[in-house]
A and B are shown apart, each in its own frame.
Chain A
């Protein structure tokens, strides 16, 4: 394959990964930003989102819905269900630990295994597909100098699908919405107030505990939404949360824990470099470089690219 089309394909693949990563990591970052809680079970909420998408579409198929209707139902219901589970876990477990950072990490590790094994028991060990609402192959044109000057042609293998483009667009829209919500809405204001100073927020009558439960649920719902978006491409599998968790941690550390903008930038960086390095070299090298980047960031800029130093 020629260099130009090759690079374009790599970037398209990278953009899909970046979109999903940005959604997932912003959930992790939101939870850390507001609650100062490192949620190790975040990858399992992503998996649960994908599994729930399968469950909802199977249920809807029983009612005779088409793929588009089923998918919309999954995109609405799966994050809601997963968000409620997470909010309940916050109230039942994390609150009892007073959000003590070390104990919360141990508790969420426990949560990780409980969710993973429950999925194995209930959903089973197989990868199961969800039908995409639409999935046309789009061959992409390329422009190059030919015998008659500039020529447009369709290089071999250069293509994407309409659904992959939809995932990229959907992630951009959701993240823009999240940003607007945090900066413009009253609920967003309350969350930011809680983030800045929980005690002062309590003094001003903000129900901090309820805010925490909602934020934890919302973070999980974002991961679940990422899971719903990816499942028509990759299928739902009970072990899919592990790699996703690792990548979101990489993204969040590089971007700066708690910084939404940093998370998005880092997701694009990691997603794109993963796409391009895997296409031109090997996927293993892409992972090595991402991990190396984390190490370098931790050494030279521990607060992350966009993070703010602790006061």
Chain B
């Protein structure tokens, strides 16, 4: 058989040659000869580190987030290893730059699965990157724990291998914020949002939430996330606007907020922003004085609050945050506090999931997903410094507390905390009914 096919050189079929066949045989023989060695490796595998692939936005528009996501993840892994690792095995972070680019992120997942033999992948933030990479995770059957706050997980757009157990999604955040906006700030809302997936979550969910709370959206302005100059967008804001709702991302967020202040001058409407508009940006930067008295959503408070529990200060110390939410080694290096805690919490969820599933090797990946799907209440504490959360295994999405903070004297002070119970909405998908 081997000889006959090797003669028909022109056929388009795969043509095993005699040499190739011999090689395969030799490899098989070699493998058979080393069988005892294999067996020894298997028993030693329990001492092998568990490898967690971290797709870091080291470059591109998400770079500031990437830097802090990595610091938080490293601190969390240090803590987990200090407490004995996972199932008695040490944990190792394998970091790759995905360039905040969906195509690159999919390649990074492949690298995690096929080259660096990672057990799981984790840590992606930007929603277009998650949406672009998650299908590959499904094909690779690689558990993919994202920290993105996009609604794409809970909307049913992704697959059974992608989960978001460490950060809440935009839809629940908005449902918590809308009543506050209409009750306290005003009924006529103009929204400014980035013109891509994450921004559309805001666009699609804010209008119903505001209308349900008795207000209306009078203007809706989409700005590309790579934009560098913003004044030209602001005249589209209707004159009767009572509240500006802004959420912006990308390297130019400081310019965005500054130019908004310059546009309004002394006659600004009420302003409610998602802290994304100012993540990694110093609130005391020149030109931001007008923000005093405005409100922000935070996923976790940036500034150390007076009533912070011990586990929050322990988390902040481990990551290296000062009281202003900046790096202890460089006060001008402001963190992405409202998002990065999700890395810490997600890594603890992975640990809990692996322990519940008795995770031994990549063979147990499916068991890990099922173990996480079985999770429900996550009590606030050292593993969940962001507050008590509820995980919904069907939608692969966690629900948690939302913070509304006011800028007072250049600092964010928490005014209101909305507990997870008030942010739940009916399921839109049941991932557990999907096949692996």
Contact = CB atoms under 8 A, between A and B. Distances in A.
A161 interface: yes
B265 A159 contact: yes
Given A126-B63, A235-B254, A9 B235 contact: yes
A10 B232 CA distance: 7
Interface stretch (A32-40, A131-139, A259-267): A131-139
A159 B263 contact: yes
A78 B218 CA distance: 45
Interface size grouping (class) on chain A: 20 to 34
Given A139-B265, A233-B255, A279 B63 contact: no
Interface in B248-274: 251-252, 254-255, 262-265, 267
B46 interface: no
A283 B224 contact: yes
A128 to B, nearest CB: 9
A278 interface: yes
Nearest to B221: A282
A42 interface: no
A157 interface: yes
Given A10-B232, A126-B64, A159 B262 contact: yes
Contacts of A156: 239, 267
A251 to B, nearest CB: 17
A283 B235 contact: no
B36 interface: no
Interface string A107-148: 000000000000010001111010110010101000000000
Interface size grouping (class) on chain B: 20 to 34
Interface centre among B229, B239, B285, B287 (most CB of A within 10 A): B229
A63 interface: no
A126 B264 CA distance: 27
Contacts of B239: 1, 156
B309 interface: no
Interface in B55-77: 58-60, 63-64, 66-67
Contact of A13 (B224, B226, B229, B237): B229
A243 B228 contact: yes
A133 to B, nearest CB: 11
B280 interface: yes
A129 B232 contact: no
B232 A161 contact: no
Interface centre among A124, A235, A243 (most CB of B within 10 A): A235
B229 A234 contact: yes
Contacts of A157: 234-235, 237, 263-265
B227 interface: yes
A234 B255 contact: yes
B231 interface: yes
Interface centre among B60, B233, B235, B262 (most CB of A within 10 A): B235
B251 A126 contact: yes
Given A125-B58, A125-B60, A237-B251, A13 B287 contact: no
17 contacts: A13-B231, A126-B251, A129-B285, A131-B286, A135-B287, A156-B267, A159-B263, A159-B265, A233-B229, A235-B254, A237-B252, A240-B228, A243-B226, A278-B232, A279-B235, A283-B224, A283-B232
Given A137-B262, A237-B251, A279-B232, 16 more contacts: A17-B229, A124-B63, A125-B63, A125-B66, A126-B64, A127-B254, A132-B286, A156-B239, A157-B234, A157-B263, A159-B262, A159-B265, A234-B255, A235-B254, A235-B255, A278-B233
Shortest 8 CB-CB distances between A and B: which pairs?
A: A125-B63, A127-B251, A278-B232, A1-B235, A237-B251, A279-B232, A13-B232, A234-B228
